[in-house]
Chain A
Amino acid sequence: MSTEARAGHFPAVDWSGGTLPYRVGHRKLGMWLFIVSDSLTFSALLMGYAYLRASNNWPTPFPFYPSIVFSSVMTFCLLSSSLTMVFGVSASSRGDKAGARKWILATIFFGVSFIVLHLIEWNHLIGEGMRPFYLPEHWVKVFTLSDGTPPSPLFGATFFTITGLHMFHVATGAIYLFVVAMRVNKLKHEDVEISGLYWHFVDLVWMFVFPLIYIMSVDMHGALGH
């Protein structure tokens, strides 16, 4: 049923108690409200990053390999995990519990792959000498402007905070999905759907983190000799 069709018969009596005005259960509504508040957390972090970036000489140090290749594969992992999660919820709606479990485990596989790839990428940057409040010395040399303005040392702080918080969400999501997959026989369909909402939200956040953090920080002219 389309949204427009439903808006047509929007009965005021729904609000007088004893029914579900949004036609979703309280747990699902709770997850939606959590997602709204979590979106604001990430929005605020990304705005803070944009603020710092606009007011500083910002380094653009990410090489094609490994940073961009890794982050692109990670994006692919998350997008695919969302697809398998949709299949899991779809199977659950048909009452196919075994199918739901299989697809949710596939989702966890993609989620864990994302975390592993991301940790390799972090390890590479830490190995280069990037820290939350320091840049590697050779980056400072390369990205210092001709008038002597050094690159902002907060590059690492924004990078580790935003991607770290996102990775934490992926990790908790993987644990959450694992619990759901193990208990899928006891859970109602709506509970599976709610875990799907959380997982898709984690994917959604990455759709903003990836272009803003990675694509906007590409070392396009090979300044670092990559």
Chain B
Amino acid sequence: MAAHAEEHFAGSNKLFISIWGWLVGLTLVEIFLAYKTLPIHIMLTILMGLSIIKAALIVAYFMHLKFERLSLILTIVPMLVICICLLMVFFPDSFRSSGLRYQFKESPPVAPAPAEEP
């Protein structure tokens, strides 16, 4: 069991503190970006890129996945990434439906006049 524990706990405290420093630093960059006027797709790309870097740092070092067997990494990570990417299949519908909403902004739709009905 001792060998087992040793196997699963690589990494020094100094390493973990430097990872924490990176995470805090990247968070500060995000807060700085919050007050920059950027086109939304660029803003989203940068923010998501930073988040993915932060998530990767947490998973690799804090959750120790970097020090696990490759078979475990290959079992967990690609499947999750593919599933999350598949969730994006809804977006074209989102952009489509934005044009369909609020067609009756000023007043609610009125019933057809009774005179027109035969």
Chain A residues engaging chain B, CB cutoff 8 angstroms: 1, 3, 6-7, 10, 21-24, 29, 32-33, 36, 39-40, 43-44, 47, 50-52, 54-57, 68, 72, 75-76, 79-80, 82-83, 85-87, 89-90, 93, 147-150, 188-190, 193, 196-197, 200-201, 203-204, 207-208, 210-212, 214-216, 218, 220
Contacts and interface: CB of A to CB of B under 8 A. Distances in A.
Interface in B93-108: 93-98, 101-102, 105-106
B8 A190 contact: yes
Given A55-B94, A82-B62, A204-B59, A32 B13 contact: no
Contacts of A79: 20, 23-24, 27
- Secondary structure at the B interface, as helix, strand, loop or mixed, is helix
Interface string B26-63: 01001101110100000110011011001100110111
A47 B106 contact: no
B76 A36 contact: yes
Given A3-B67, A216-B43, 17 more contacts: A6-B69, A23-B7, A29-B72, A36-B79, A36-B80, A39-B80, A43-B84, A51-B90, A86-B61, A87-B16, A93-B6, A93-B9, A150-B102, A189-B5, A197-B63, A204-B58, A220-B34
